[in-house]
Amino acid sequence: MKTYAYGFPRLGKNREYKKSLEDFWQGNISEKGLKEAVSGIDQQRQNFYKQFVDIFPSGEMTLYDNILDTAVMFGVCPFENLQEYFEYARGRNALEMMKFFGTNYHYLVPVIPKGFKFNLAYNKLLEYKKNLSGNNPAYFIGPFTFLKLSRVKGGFNSLLDSLCRQYKNAFGRLKKQGVKFFHIDEPAFVLDLTKSEINLITKVYKKYFLPFKQNIYLFTYYESVSWLKDLFSLPSAAIGLDFVSDSQNLKTLQKTGFPKDKILVAGIINGRIPDRADILERVDFLKRLESVKGLSRENIYISNAMPLFHIPVTLDNEKSLTPAKKKYLSFAAEKLYELSLLKDVLSGRRAKEAGKWAGTAKKQRQSLSSDNKTFNTLSLREDYFTKRRKLQDKFLGLPLFPSTTIGSFPQDKELRQMRLKFRKNKIPAAVYNKFIEKKISSLIELQEKMGLDVFVHGEFERSDMVEFFAQKLGGIITTDRGWVISYGSRVYRPPIIIGPIKRKKPLTLKEILYAQSLTSRPVKGIFTGPVTILAWSYNLRRNEDSKVAFELAGALNQEARDLVKKGIKIIQIDEPAIKERMPLKEKKRKSYFSWAVRAFNLTAKLPDKIQVHTHMCYSEFSDIIFWIMKMNFDVITIEASRSRGGITAAFKKVKFSRQIGPGVWDIHSKYPAEEEVMREIMKKSVRIFGKDKVWVNPDCGLKTRGWEEVIISLRKIVDLAKTLRTRYGR
Ligand code: GLN
Ligand code: ZN
C-alpha cells in the first residue's frame, strides 16, 4: 500500500504566492524574479509532500490558474511574455471567471472557436513545469474536463478528438524525456453525463491513450462516478475515486468489484473540509474496501478524496486557536500526515499515535451517508405578495423606480488601516467605534445629498460578509492565517462551523440603528443569509448542513426581528451563494434546495408590512428559478449589467410579479456606469415587469470601488430614476 497526494495549496505557508504575484504586477520584481519565487514556493510544497507521502504529481504549480495553463499548452491562449499571459487573467479583455465545480475556487474560462485546431505549444508550459521528474507523475487537467469547462460554441466531439491527439503528443514527448507517469484530473466525470458523452469519452481515450495504458493515473472527485464500469475500461494503470463526498462509489464497487489489474487510488481523506480524520475508523473503512472483489492491499493506494487546495496550508500557523479547538482540525499539511499515519497503522505501527490524533474527531463518521431528506419550504402563494405589497407601499411611501444600493461602500485605505490597528489593539475600541460612526454619518449625508430613496449604512464595520458574522456567532470559529485562494492572488479565510449556532449578542443592530437615527429615509437592515454563511464556511458538523442552516436562520431571524422592533422597515438578506452549494448531480438537488429555501424563509419570517429584499449576484437563474420563486422575499436585486438585462429572461418566463432591481452598473469594472446600458436594461425591465415593479441599483456592493467613481455612478443612477419617473409617472 502506498500513499498518494495531490492538489496541495500553492499559496505558500506565508502567502508568498500572493505576494510574489502582486509584486510582479506592481513592477517590483522581474519576470525572472517571479518565476524564481514561484519555483521556490513549489519547492516548499514538494517538501511537505516528501515529508509524508510516497507519490505526488509534479507540475501542479501555475502562475495563475491551471485551466488557463492547459489552454496555453494546447495553443488556445498564445503569449510572448508574462505581461501578455496575465492579460488573459486580468487584462481589459480578460477571460471570464467561473466557480470550479461548485467549490469556491474560480478558474478562467477559455473560449474555443468551432473547429479550432489544437496544437502542442507546450514548451512554454514546460518552463513552469521544470520539476517533472521520472518518478512523479506529470500533472494534467484531463481533456474532457478541460473542454467541458471551456466555452465551446459547437463541434464538441471533434474538438475533443483534436485535443486528445495533442495530449497524446504531449505524453509522447514527456515519455521520451523520461517521465513515466501521467496524473490526469477528470472531475467532470462525476457530472450527470449522457450515454453519448460516456461513449465519446471511451472512444477518444481508447483511440489516443492506449499506448500509455500503464502510465496513466486517472482521477475523479467531488462526487461519485455513475458509470464505473465504463470508467474501468479506459486505458489507465490507476483510478482515483472519491469515497468521502458520498457513499455511492463504495456501494457500486461492492456490487461490481474492481479490475484486479488496476490500482485503486482510494480518496479517503477529505480535501475540502479541514476536519481531523479518525484514523482508526478510516482503517475500518479500508478493510471494507479490501473486501471488494478484485481489491487487496496490493492494489490500493490511499489518498485525499479531492485536491487539497480548498483548505489552508498548515495548522502550525494558527497561534490564537486553543489546543482544544485545534483538535478538531487538520489543514493540508496535517492531511498528509494523516495519510502517513494511516499507512503505518495498517502495517501495525503507530496505533497509539493514531488514537491520540483522532481526538474529538472520534466517532464522527467520515463518509457522508447521503442526506436526501426533502423539507417543506414554507412558501406562500403569489397573491400573498400582492397583499403584502399594499401594506408595504403604505408603510414606506416610496416613489416609482426607487433607487438604492446593495450595501457596502468603499473600504478605503484609511478604513483598512484603522481596522488593522484596532485588531492589533493599537487603538481603543472607543476610538474605532467613533471612526465607524463618522463613516456612517457621512454616508447618510451623502445619500441625502444625492437623493437616493432607500439608504444603507455602508457595512464599514464588516471586513467580509461571512467572517464578520462568524466572529459574532457561537458555534463558529475563525482562523488567524487560514487563507485559501479564491482566484489569482485573491485569498479569503473561511470560518469553521464546529458546534450549535448561537446568537450570543446582536450582530448588526448598533450600526444600522445608528444610521437610521440620522435620517427619515428608510435604511435597509442588511445581513448575510444562512445559506451563504454556510456555503462560505467549512461545516465540520457532518451530515448536518440542513440543521446548521436552520440554526443560522433562527439566529438571523432574531436579529431581523430586533431590527424591526427598533424601527427598521426594510430587511435585506444577501444570498449570493445559494446556487453554489447546489450538488453536481441533478437527483441530489431537490433535497438541497428544499432546506436552503426553508432556511431563507425562516430567516425572512417577519410582519407583512416589513419589506424583505434579497440580493444574489451571479448570472444564471434559468435552472434554479423554480426554487427562487419559493423564497419569501418582496424585492430581489441581481447582477444584470454584463448581460444588459438579458438575465431577467428567467424571471420573465415564470411571470415574476414581485419587484426586481436588475443591476445597471457593473461594479467589477473600473469604469463608471454607462447611460446607454443603464437605459437599455431599464427599458427591457419595464417591458417585462411593468413600471411599478422595477428598482434602480448597481449590480452589487461597492466595497472594492473608489469614492470618486461611486459618486459619479450613483449620480447617474439617481438621475435615471428621476427620468424614468417623469416618463412613466402616474
Ligand atoms: N451587501 C453586500 C455588499 O454590498 C452584498 C455582497 C455580495 O452579494 N457579494 O457588499
Ligand atoms: Zn452581489
The model's pLDDT over 663-708, given as tens digits with 9 standing for 90+, comes to: 999 888 778 889 999 999 999 999 999 999 999 999 999 998 999 9
Output the pLDDT for position 362: 46
**Whose Cα sits closest to atom 10 in ligand 1?**
701
Judge contact between 659 and 695, C-beta under 8 A: yes
Which cell is 481 given? 492565517
| Ligand number, closest to the Cα atom of 641 | 2
Q: Answer whether CATH 3.20.20.210 is correct for domain 2-115+132-364.
A: yes
405 CA distance to ligand 1 middle (Å) = 10
638 CA distance to ligand 2 middle (Å) = 7
The residues annotated with a catalytic role in the active site are 668
459 CA distance to ligand 1 middle (Å) = 9
Q: pLDDT per residue over 47-63, tens digit each?
A: 999 999 999 999 999 99
Q: What is the DSSP letter of 482?
A: -
Q: Among 527, 667, 700, which is best to mutate for testing ligand 1, by the most ligand atoms less than 8 A from CB?
A: 700
Output the pLDDT for position 230: 98
Provide the sign of the torsion angle of the four alpha carbons 329, 331, 337, 338, taken in this order: positive
Pairwise CA distance, residues 174 & 132, whole Å: 9
Judge contact between 149 and 97, C-beta under 8 A: no
Q: How far is CA 729 from CA 307, 616, 695, in A?
A: 56, 29, 14
**Whose Cα sits closest to atom 8 in ligand 1?**
576
Beta strands 263-269 and 611-616 are unpaired
Query: Helical H runs in 247-331?
Result: 248-256, 279-290, 323-326
615 CA distance to ligand 2 middle (Å) = 6
Atom of ligand 1 nearest to the CA of 617: 8
Judge contact between 639 and 647, C-beta under 8 A: yes
Pairwise CA distance, residues 232 & 212, whole Å: 15
Residue keyed to cell 468551432: 114
Output the pLDDT for position 365: 41
Atom of ligand 1 nearest to the CA of 407: 4
| Ligand number, closest to the Cα atom of 526 | 1
Is the pLDDT reported for residue 485 higher than 70?
yes
**Whose Cα sits closest to atom 4 in ligand 1?**
701
Pairwise CA distance, residues 226 & 245, whole Å: 13
25 CA distance to ligand 2 middle (Å) = 26
Is the pLDDT reported for residue 380 higher than 80?
no
Closest CA to 239 of 257, 259, 221, 265: 265
Judge contact between 91 and 64, C-beta under 8 A: no
Output the pLDDT for position 265: 98
| Ligand number, closest to the Cα atom of 617 | 2
Is the pLDDT reported for residue 360 higher than 90?
no
Q: Is the pTM of this model over 0.85?
A: yes
Average pLDDT over residues 25-52: 96
Q: Among 99, 404, 406, 467, which is best to mutate for testing ligand 1, by the most ligand atoms less than 8 A from CB?
A: 406
Return the domain boundaries, the chain.
2-115+132-364, 382-412+447-462+508-728
Atom of ligand 1 nearest to the CA of 406: 4
407 CA distance to ligand 1 middle (Å) = 6
Is the pLDDT reported for residue 363 higher than 70?
no
Output the pLDDT for position 126: 60
Which cell is 464 given? 467580509
Topology match between the domains 2-115+132-364 and 382-412+447-462+508-728: yes
| Ligand number, closest to the Cα atom of 456 | 1
Buried b (16+ CB within 10 A) or exposed e, 551-568: bbbbbbbebbebbbeeeb
Is residue 376 left, alpha or beta, with left meaning phi > 0 and alpha meaning psi from -120 to 50?
beta
Is residue 459 left, alpha or beta, with left meaning phi > 0 and alpha meaning psi from -120 to 50?
left
Task: Assign 125 a pLDDT band (cuts: 50, 70, 90).
Answer: low
Closest CA to 147 of 177, 90, 209, 191: 191
Is the pLDDT reported for residue 409 higher than 50?
yes
Which top CATH class is 382-412+447-462+508-728? alpha beta
The arrangement of strands across the sheet holding 538-539 comes to 473-477, 496-503, 538-539
Task: Assign 371 a pLDDT band (cuts: 50, 70, 90).
Answer: low
Average pLDDT over residues 549-556: 98
Give the binding-site residues of ligand 1, using a 6 Å CB cut-off. 406-408, 459, 465, 526, 574, 576, 615, 617, 700-701, 703
Average pLDDT over residues 603-628: 93
Is the pLDDT reported for residue 285 higher than 50?
yes
Output the pLDDT for position 127: 60
Output the pLDDT for position 368: 39
